[in-house]
Amino acid sequence: MDVTAPGMDVIATAGHVDHGKSALVRALTGMEPDRWAEERRRGLTIDLGFAWTTLPSGRRLAVVDVPGHERFVGNMLAGVGSVPAALVVVAADDGWSAQTAEHVAVLDALGVRPALLAVTKSDLADPAPVVADVRERLAATSMGDVPAVPVSSVTGQGLPELTTAMESLLARLPAPDATAPVRLWIDRAFTIRGAGTVVTGTLAAGTVAPEDRLLLGGREVTVRGVQSLGAAVERARATARVALNLRGVAVEDLSRGDALLTPGAFRLTDVVDVTLAAEPDERLPAEPVVHVGSATVGARLRPLDGTAVRLRLASPLPLRVGDRLLLRDPGARRVLGADVRDVDPPELCRRGAARQRGAELAAQPEGDAGAAADLARRRIVRAADFAAMGWPVPAGATEQGPWLLAPGLADELAARVPDVVTRFRRLRPLEPGPPAEVVRRALDLPDADLVAALVREPLVLREGRVVDGAADLPPAVQRAVDEIRARLATDPFAAPEAPDLADAGLGVRELAAAVRSGQLVRVGEGVYLAPGIDGVARTRLAAIPQPFTLSQARQAWGTSRRVAVPLMEWLDARGVTERLPDNTRTLR
């Protein structure tokens, strides 16, 4: 078995019915693209056909043959949606026809650039007038100046020249990104005896291999096996025609237009803002049909401003910023190209919001600058969600855990934190500073974990609170604590009694504040000593025989049982001492 499927190119045919698309594919590949008996009986392509060949250079080519009849334009759109290049087919004895125009309009709306013109049936009529006419028409589309080759599938005339032109065309295709996430639009789903469910599609980006786990409509499925151009492979890299044997889904649950997705890499959306590729010359359809990949869904269209419109899809699709959609008006047989600009757009509630939104989209740049502008509008977003929308991380953005902050926003919010701390301490002077949750609410943050990215010196985040390292206790409390610490400096184990604390004005809240500030240590209920008492206690215990009793420890410390009992338990909990089975203790 091959380790990786050899690289290949994929091209789709386009053109009017009876202009010889399928016959040309047969002549080029030696394969029959019409899969159904009815197609071969009627000589009419109804559904998508697939064939492949190896060109003289060794380049492997897969061909998606689309139906040319107007009744099957939906199938045609499913075939060209994921394919990077087109082979436009026009018959020399018929020339430019209705379906030629419709297919070319589709390619133009999709923004297809690499294309080749094959003028078929050149053995029946002079191809020169058709070549000149069609090339002139194509020059006004996205395809531009298209090379043309007259051919005859019957006599073989022009086939070597067509192959050479195709080699040149394919060599100019941009290299696909084999490391990108997978979004495989399914164009066929069927069952094979002994293998189970199989789907096919054009892998436009990414890599797929057996045991990969992919999402299908919110459900996880596993790839059991991969085939490319009829052969089993261990890995297929874009661009490629692939057939995937799936585990975890029945063929009855699949249909053309479903997509296999890398988990977490795409966002399903049913509301999307787009900009039309060209100014419409007619009134926009209120309910266009939207095509992307092999998917077809209905939609409701709301004009915003200029070429910007909002689409509300009948069912959600895995879309990204930069995707090209095709909007079809079935009644008028008209197609429009549209570029996805936002897959998570804001609500339009206020009067004039639609026009303002359209202006925003018109001003929004592409690439990194567009990502920065979108993130500035959102301010804070989960990094995974932002990537799933199709945006790169813009320069200057702040990443904090799973969150992404717009450039400059962290500094702007950090400048507000000191005021939050000051106002909190004014209301609660005995508390060292506000909890992170209080800061979160004050700054309207989605997660308290973001507070850590906003704390600047002299503020610090300590034990879940934003505190000023230089902040003191209220003056009266500080004086009382200072007096206690002075007495403890003389006798470290002489913890003040409850009446002494009360007389000094140190209640529960004041003592808790002193502990939080690090000026006292609470070793037990009502027992407060100076910081560092654990070291002093260890030094005195080290001077007596080991193991020792509680009474011996109390005598070494020169204190009462009221202090010795909680102090010893506190030392046990901190790992300074170890309690033995006979209730004696020893230093660790």
Could you tell me the maximum CA-CA distance found in the chain, to the nearest angstrom?
Answer: 119
For residues 152 and 188, state if they share a domain. Answer: no
Q: How far is CA 311 from CA 284, 326, 381, in A?
A: 12, 12, 23
d(CA 76, CA 187): 11
Residue 571 near residue 534, CB atoms below 8 Å = yes
Q: What's 551's domain CATH number? A: 1.10.10.10
Q: What's 292's domain CATH number? A: 2.40.30.10
For residues 87 and 15, state if they share a domain. Answer: yes
Q: Which domain holds residue 333?
A: 267-364
Q: What's 18's domain CATH number? A: 3.40.50.300
Residue 537 lies in a domain: yes
For residues 38 and 109, state if they share a domain. Answer: yes
Residue 552 lies in a domain: yes
Look at the chain and report how many structural domains it folds into. 5
The one-letter amino acid code at 524 reads G
Residue 22 lies in a domain: yes
For residues 295 and 431, state if they share a domain. Answer: no
pLDDT for the residue 582: 93
Give one word for 213, left, alpha or beta, with left for phi > 0 and alpha for psi -120 to 50.
beta
Residue 321 near residue 340, CB atoms below 8 Å = yes
For residues 92 and 151, state if they share a domain. Answer: yes
d(CA 267, CA 284): 27
Hunting for tokens 């990215």 — which residue is that? 453
Residue where a domain terminates, one of 333, 364, 395: 364
Residue 383 lies in a domain: no
Q: Residue 201: in which H helix or E strand, if any?
A: strand 196-203
For residues 122 and 211, state if they share a domain. Answer: no
Residue 514 lies in a domain: no
For residues 124 and 194, state if they share a domain. Answer: no
For residues 167 and 66, state if they share a domain. Answer: yes
pLDDT tens series, the chain, 588 aa: 445 555 678 888 888 877 888 889 888 888 875 443 333 333 333 346 778 888 998 888 888 776 543 443 555 565 455 677 889 999 999 899 888 888 888 888 888 888 999 999 999 999 999 999 999 999 999 999 999 999 999 999 999 999 999 999 988 888 888 999 999 999 888 888 877 889 988 898 999 999 999 999 888 999 999 988 888 899 999 888 888 999 989 889 898 889 999 999 999 999 999 999 888 877 888 999 999 988 989 999 999 988 899 999 999 999 999 999 999 887 767 888 999 999 999 998 888 889 999 998 888 888 888 999 999 999 999 999 999 999 999 988 989 889 999 999 999 999 999 999 889 988 887 777 899 999 999 999 999 999 988 998 888 887 788 887 555 677 788 888 889 999 999 999 999 999 989 888 888 888 888 887 788 999 999 999 999 999 999 999 999 999 999 999 999 999 999 999 999 999 999 999 999 999 999 998
Q: Could you tell me which residues are beta bridge partners of residue 207?
A: 237
For residues 12 and 120, state if they share a domain. Answer: yes
For residues 78 and 99, state if they share a domain. Answer: yes
For residues 19 and 162, state if they share a domain. Answer: yes
Residue 495 lies in a domain: no
pLDDT for the residue 33: 56
Residue where a domain terminates, one of 199, 233, 261: 261
For residues 29 and 164, state if they share a domain. Answer: yes
Three-state SS sequence of 95-149: CCCHHHHHHHHHHHHCCCCCEEEEEECCCCCCCHHHHHHHHHHHCCCCCCCCCEE
pLDDT for the residue 451: 92
DSSP 341-387: EESSPPP--STTHHHHHHHHHHH--SHHHHHHHHHHHH-EEEHHHHH
Query: Which residues neighbour 510 within 8 Å (Cβ) at sequence distance 6 or greater?
Result: 430, 473, 477, 480
Residue 137 lies in a domain: yes
For residue 4 the two structure tokens come to 């990786």
pLDDT for the residue 316: 95
Residue 476 lies in a domain: no
pLDDT for the residue 43: 39
